[in-house]
Amino acid sequence: MIDIKALTLKLLCSCILLVLMVNLGLCQTPLLQNVYNHDITSLDGKWQTIIDPYENGFYNYRYEPFEYQSDPGNGAFFTNAKAKSKTDLVEYDFDKSETLDVPGDWNTQKDQLFYYEGSLWYKKSFDYDLKKADNKLFIYFEASNYQTDVYFNGKKLGRHIGGFTPFNYELTDLLKPTDNFIIVKVDNKRKKEGVPTLNTDWWNYGGLTRNVKLVEVPKTYIADYSIQLDPENDQNIKCTISINGELPAAFPVTVEIPELRIKETLTPNVNGQVTTTMKANQLSYWSVESPKLYTVNISTAEETVTDQIGFRTIETKGSDILLNGKSIFLKGISIHEENPIRGGRAHSKADASQLLQWAKELGCNYVRLAHYPHNEHMVRLADEMGMLVWEENPVYWTIDWENPDTYANAENQLTEVINRDKNRASVIIWSMANETPRSDARNIFLNKLAAHTRNLDPSRLISAALEQKDYNGQKEVRTIDDAFADVVDILSFNQYIGWYDGLVDKTSRISWVITQDKPVIISEFGAGAKYGYHADQDTRWTEEYQAHLYAETLNMIGKIDQLRGVSPWILVDFRSPRRVLPEIQDGWNRKGLISEKGEKKQAFYTLRDWYSQR
């Protein structure tokens, strides 16, 4: 006999668990690969918006979420309610509300939102006809900062946490030919348990900061793939493909690289997986000098996905970083994702091109994308330009190390950027963290992240921006005494001797003892300077001070035998609420080599000259 009470309880528990999973962001649809080259329908443009600092559109007056209620009534913003008669009470109207541009942060679009940290609702209406009746439709967000609740035609699709990585949801079952509406609640409040946490040194731009796209795919579609050199034989290409959807008994998948005369047709296993190794004759490796990209086509009877992929090896041997088996010195610069001319969060291809072109002009072959994953334009253009890339997870300063939800959040953000960029030849380093204080809990946290990264992508190097300390009590001899230094492939650390640590003359007295047999990258150094402010080289905030510090720092770190790269802080001045000195900072971190107006400071040329000699 069926135990009705037990069955009812089990179903109730399942429903509660499902609601919790949705709201914790654990029911996300697997990320689509290569949306960048997909045939898409853009949802960019003007979206209706409602500012909601008290979250009245999400909670009732008892602070209970409307979405948990069987009848949320007219108060829930995600229902897009309209008064049906003169007696109906509806206290909002998206269609009469102001608009904001998507993509774009809200802070720089409206003065009253400049410092705003809270919830804001977006709404977009659209019509859509599937090209084929049994196709699937997804909505793909390139990024939204920070906690994002997504609703379609009044039904919740899910919650995403994290401000810099892509996510998508399927719309198919709720889609109508006309009058569809997508409603998105974005909350950029900083949180102690967040990644990053409460305290950062950059602007907390809120909103739908990158493109939003509709992606239509067949009912059985190419969901994911990894195409890279075989780690056991660099003359072979290893290919792994995932097929999602209804899988018929015979479903051939063809992989073709026309320029290499490679063409193989394979059959997925019952799980939709295809793995093969292909011999690559006369393969030209991707390099800084010759960033060769091959057109790769993956085809089924229903679709063809095309990508541009470069093939190269990256490894370390002792203190050397080897690109295609040859030692390379990483001449770099750190970059924040800001548009230095327009202001605000950078998001367009033109934004990315400007930043990377400046790095090229500086003499760089490498950029550190700090302190979070940047938009996909950056790594795609780096592929084309022959620029090596360090990508970073936003585990910054003082994360809540012992909170399991914080770790899950960090791991998820890292997974999303690895899945997005795993086929990009330019990306050579996954960075786990920046300037994190040493502790047992932190070591456990970072060790788990590193192990997870190596499991997902064993083909790239792992690093983190560590901190230095005195060597055996000697104040002018520095070292890296950090358990995580034994885990990383590249030993990287930040140092600000001459700015936060003494004056510039101190650089002549400092030396390092590096005990690990690994390559060293100085991931940050620098000094603040306001463009156009001139005095002698001992006066802080002047271009002369910054240029002098650069010259002396480069002389100092050049004596480190294991030095294999630098990425000074930073390419362009960027906004930070920490930087409040009137007439100098005015809300800007002034450590850029270029001003927020695109003006090059003296230190730009100091570094460029040093790079030209290496």
> How many angstroms from the chain centroid is the CA of residue 1?
54
- Closest residue by Cα to residue 492 from 608, 334, 378: 334
pLDDT of residue 23: 44
Q: What is the pLDDT of residue 467?
A: 87
Average pLDDT, the chain: 94
Q: What is the pLDDT of residues 145-197, one digit of tens each?
A: 999 999 999 999 999 999 999 999 999 999 999 999 999 999 999 999 999 99
Fold classified for 27-217:
Jelly Rolls (2.60.120)
Per-residue pLDDT band for 342 (boundaries 50, 70, 90) equals: confident
Q: Is the pLDDT of residue 392 over 60?
A: yes
Given pLDDT bands bounded at 50, 70 and 90, which one contains residue 343?
Answer: confident
Nearest-10 crossing angle of helices 440-456, 404-421: 30
Residue 596 pLDDT greater than 50, yes or no = yes
- The residue ranges of DSSP E strands in 28-91, in sequence order, are 40-42, 45-51
Mean pLDDT, range 584-595, rounded to an integer: 98
pLDDT band of 364, cuts 50, 70, 90: very high
Rg, Å, the chain Cα set: 26
Instruction: Quick: pLDDT tens for 484-523.
Output: 999 999 999 999 999 999 999 999 999 999 999 999 999 9
pLDDT exceeds 50 at position 125: yes
- What tokens appear for 576 in the block? 């930070």
pLDDT attached to residue 529: 98
What's the CA gap between 262 and 392, in Å, rounded?
34
SS (H, E, C) 143-158: CCECEEEEEECCEEEE
Nearest CA-CA partner of 592 in 370, 389, 376: 370
On the CB side of 521, how many CA atoms lie within 13 Å of its CA? 35
> Please, how many CA atoms are within 13 Å of residue 388, restricted to the half-sphere of its CB?
29
CB 477 within 8 A of CB 512: yes
- What's the CA gap between 34 and 42, in Å, rounded? 15
pLDDT: which is higher, 21 or 540:
540
Query: How does residue 434 score in pLDDT terms, banded at 50, 70 and 90?
Result: very high
pLDDT > 90: what percent of the chain?
91
> What does the pLDDT read at residue 11?
39
Q: What is the CATH number of domain 220-302?
A: 2.60.40
Strand, helix or coil for residue 501: strand
Quick: pLDDT tens for 558-586: 999 999 999 999 999 999 999 999 999 99
pLDDT category at 28 given cuts 50, 70, 90 is low
What pLDDT is recorded for position 19? 44
Question: What would the mean pLDDT of 431-454 be, rounded to a whole number?
Answer: 97
| pLDDT for residue 85 is more than 70 | yes
The CA-atom distances, in angstroms, between 23 and each of 120, 150, 224 are 17, 10, 25
Please give the angle made by the CA atoms of 410, 63 and 89, to the nearest 5 degrees.
Answer: 125
The token pair at 211 is 């493109």
State the pLDDT at residue 9: 44
Taking the alpha carbons at both ends of the chain, their separation in whole angstroms is 81
**Predicted pLDDT of residue 7:** 40
pLDDT at residue 27, as a whole number: 52
Helix (H) or strand (E) holding 24: none
What residues contact residue 6 under an 8 Å CB cut-off, 6+ apart? none
**How confident is the model at residue 10, as a pLDDT?**
42
Going from N- to C-terminal start, the domains of the chain cover 27-217, 220-302, 316-612
Give residue-wise pLDDT tens across range 218-242.
999 999 999 999 988 989 999 999 9
Cα 389 to chain center, whole Å?
12
C-alpha span between 293 and 309 (Å, rounded)? 5
Q: What is the pLDDT of residue 176?
A: 97
pLDDT in tens, 281-303: 889 999 999 999 999 999 999 99
pLDDT tens figures, 251-285? 999 999 999 999 999 999 999 999 999 999 889 99
Q: CATH assignment of 316-612?
A: 3.20.20.80
User: In the prediction, which pLDDT does 16 show?
Assistant: 40
What span, in angstroms and rounded, lies between the C-alpha atoms of 575 and 589?
6
pLDDT of 304 above 90? yes
Residue in the block written with tokens 């003007």: 46
Tokens coding 117: 């940290």
CA atoms 508, 553, 540, 589: torsion sign? negative
Q: Single out the residue of 523, 518, 524 nearest to residue 562, CA to CA.
A: 518
**What six digits make up the tokens of 529?**
């300077």
Crossing angle for the helix pair 376-385 and 404-421, to the nearest 10 degrees: 40
Residues 154, 49 contacting (CB under 8 angstroms)? no
Q: Report the candidate in 360, 362, 389 with the shortest Cα–Cα distance to residue 593.
A: 362
Rounded-to-integer distance, Cα 35 and Cα 30, Å: 13
Q: What is the pLDDT of residues 11-22, one digit of tens each?
A: 344 444 444 444
